[in-house]
Structure 1
Amino acid sequence: MVSKSLPMRSEAVCTRQDDEMEAVGIDVSKKKLDVCWLRDASTVKVKSRVFNNDEAGRRALLDWLQKQTKRSPHELGVMLEATSVYHEAVAYFLYEAGVRVHVANPHHVSEFGKSLGKRSKTDKKDSIVLARFLDSRSHTEWVPEAEEVRYLKALLSRLHALDTDIQRECNRQEKAEIQQASDQVLISITKVLQTLEGERKRLEQEIDDHFDDHPGLKSDRKLLESIPGIGRVISSELTAVLRSRNFENAGQAAAFVGLVPVERQSGTSVRGRPSLSKAGSGRLRAKLYMGAVVAIRFNERIKAHYERLVAKGKSKMSALGAAMRKLVQMAYGVLAHQTSYDPQWAR
């Protein structure tokens, strides 16, 4: 099966900082934005300022950058770190204004800072590191997710939170029964559980309705469910992830989910076992784990792959990780080709 890029609405662009684009680093926190404009990269001459992380502050930030640099928005390059959800508002604002926005993995920025000999950590210094990180190499521009994908991800995140709350209440109920707690305590727990389970059913229906309202997403979920080992829950999660960005190939998609093996070897003394990078969503990996357990029984390709690895001496957990990775690669394949899973695809 030939790998193709997934068809997406927007295309990310790989850019390199040059004389035509000013490098700006923004360290984002809940309440403020520490901004650094790299005026001269050779001498690390910078100009910094702090803005509130609210609508008025974001407008003031853009005005200040344009006045200082004498550049149009498209000639401004901004580097942010992916900091929980706090960076999202400023990223969307600047993107819509025409600024070239980049969002970096915090670990990559931290390692770059260490390479500069950075010792102390302050918000102002972090913004300088971000500006220099943008200036130092090529980066892929950040592209917002399609609105329907962003909404789906929010629904799935809320559903996961409800599942966590329900499990906690079930644990409390079991503990209360063992301790022979009062009837009032048991009644309270039962009421909370009923409320949570009722809301969970409502949210599941909301997710189904959202798929029905967006034929493209609905078609993707159906294609994913044609793969043995992928059911309704995993197909929803994979639809959200695989449609959230442009993946160039199946391996890139697997790496994003955190299913690429990382080796630890050095000389003759260090011979660590390879382990999964776990760089992506732990929630999705947990679901893919259960999907892989099913797939090694009912998906002939994955079953053969799993048994072949075990026969070569791989541990069962390592082979199961490979099965998870194979599931993601198959999922990428059916969406890239927009065709249902075919067991006869070349291994």
Structure 2
Amino acid sequence: MNAEQFVGIDVSKATLDGAVEPQGQVWQVAYDAKGIDQLVLQLQEIGPTLIVIEATGGLETQIASALAGKGLPVAVVNPRQVRDFAKASGRLAKTDRVDAGVLAAFARAIRPQARPLKDADTRALDDLVDRRRQLIGIRVQEVLRLKGATTKPLQTSLKKHIAWLDKQIDQNDRDLTRRLRESDAWRAKDDLLKSIPGVGSVTIVTLLAKCPELGTLNRREIAALVGVAPMANDSGQYRGKRFIWGGRSEVRAVLYMATISAIRCNAVIRAFAERLKNAGKPPKVVIVACMRKLLTIMNAMLKNNTPWQPQNT
């Protein structure tokens, strides 16, 4: 069929609800191997221009991977964007079938970019990075509880749990390092990024797991993807302050810590920060600008497969 067709798929634990724009066709299949195969065949016959699925905490991975594996154009989008679109278009009701229709309309109107999905190795690395963050979060909570513990049994229990968490974090870090070093592609990227003063192993594994597009986009695209590109806030003669918004918060968090370190020990980033300070820029603006510069440097290094060269940055 020559006419453009846009598909929205609403994912739940048991079912997959689909809708096609502008035809208005809807369907539902079970979210199991048989249902996925049936849906893939159906969509191959349609030949959609774009398929949109909401990110649902990993529940969407199986169907998105199956569709992308067959060469179908899939975009996994932020649920907040879809909900805002639904409200703006007056679609306030919420059922699985309605949501599928909203996703199809979103695909037709917005046309989000279909990006390559993470492969199995990248998803496994992503899971390890998530688990490390969870373990550290639990450890912080237990340390705070230990500070307020007043009885011996509670202190003993908390200390045992903290010691166990330390072992789990160490094991997680070893697993992350092993995965990086076992892959030729990741090892090469790890070696390149490690040469940048201020960039440590946690920053590297988080970037590789959470931002696999690093090294494939231009400097504006990668800054917008991570969320370090200032957004304009102008109207008529009014010129408002620029703010960063959206992007990948987990990547931005580790990039912030790497930038704080780089401002101290990386001559290029330190000199850039000093120029901004001397120009009267506020501290937060300086840090965000340095985050963007550090990110674009890493992006260029991976894109061109070149090591750290401070004289060329």
Deviation by residue 1:115-143 (Cα, 9 ceiling, x = unmatched): 54434333322211222333346553342
How many angstroms apart in 2 are the aligned matches of 1:310 and 1:170? 37
Give the alignment's TM-score, normalised by structure 2. 0.89
Deviation by residue 1:257-293 (Cα, 9 ceiling, x = unmatched): 111112323245x65432221421x233222222111
Any conservation in 2 of the 1:36–1:48 contact (CA below 8 Å)? yes
Of 131, 134, 147, the residue aligned with 2:120 is 147
Any conservation in 1 of the 2:215–2:302 contact (CA below 8 Å)? no
How many angstroms apart in 2 are the aligned matches of 1:287 and 1:24? 35
How many angstroms apart in 2 are the aligned matches of 1:96 and 1:111? 30
Aligned residue number for residue 85 of structure 1: 58
Deviation by residue 1:94-134 (Cα, 9 ceiling, x = unmatched): 22344332323334434443454434333322211222333
How many angstroms apart in 2 are the aligned matches of 1:245 and 1:239? 8
Verify: 1:330 aligned to 2:312, yes or no. Answer: no
Verify: 1:214 aligned to 2:192, yes or no. Answer: no
Aligned residue number for residue 305 of structure 1: 272
**Which 5+ residue runs of structure 2 have no aligned equivalent?**
none
How many angstroms apart in 2 are the aligned matches of 1:140 and 1:60? 25
Go from structure 1 to structure 2 and tell me whether the alpha carbon gap of 1:79 and 1:239 turns closer, same or farther (over 3 Å shift): closer
Deviation by residue 1:282-314 (Cα, 9 ceiling, x = unmatched): 233222222111211222221222122222221
SS of corresponding position for 1:344? helix
What does 1:1-347 correspond to in 2, within 5 Å? 19=2, 22-38=5-21, 41=22, 45-62=23-40, 65=42, 72=45, 74=47, 77-136=50-109, 138-176=111-149, 180-181=150-151, 183-244=152-213, 247-267=216-236, 272-280=240-248, 282-346=249-313
Deviation by residue 1:60-80 (Cα, 9 ceiling, x = unmatched): 4345x36xxxx6375574221
Give the alignment's TM-score, normalised by structure 1. 0.81
Amino acid at match of 2:138: D
Aligned residue number for residue 3 of structure 1: none
How many angstroms apart in 1 are the aligned matches of 2:198 and 2:15? 45
Structure 1 residue 167 displacement after superposition:
1.0
Deviation by residue 1:230-278 (Cα, 9 ceiling, x = unmatched): 112212222334435773212211221111112323245x654322214
How many angstroms apart in 2 are the aligned matches of 1:96 and 1:218? 25
**Which 5+ residue runs of structure 1 have no aligned equivalent?**
1-17
Larger RCO, structures 1/2 (Cα 8 Å, 6+ apart): 1
How many angstroms apart in 1 are the aligned matches of 2:215 and 2:252? 20
Any conservation in 2 of the 1:80–1:87 contact (CA below 8 Å)? yes
How many angstroms apart in 2 are the aligned matches of 1:234 and 1:78? 32
SS of corresponding position for 1:262? coil
Any conservation in 2 of the 1:74–1:100 contact (CA below 8 Å)? no
Amino acid at match of 2:258: G
Amino acid at match of 1:262: M
How many angstroms apart in 2 are the aligned matches of 1:291 and 1:23? 41
SS of corresponding position for 1:37? strand
Any conservation in 2 of the 1:34–1:124 contact (CA below 8 Å)? yes
Runs of 4+ in 1 over 6 A off after TM superposition: none
How many angstroms apart in 1 are the aligned matches of 2:92 and 2:154? 53
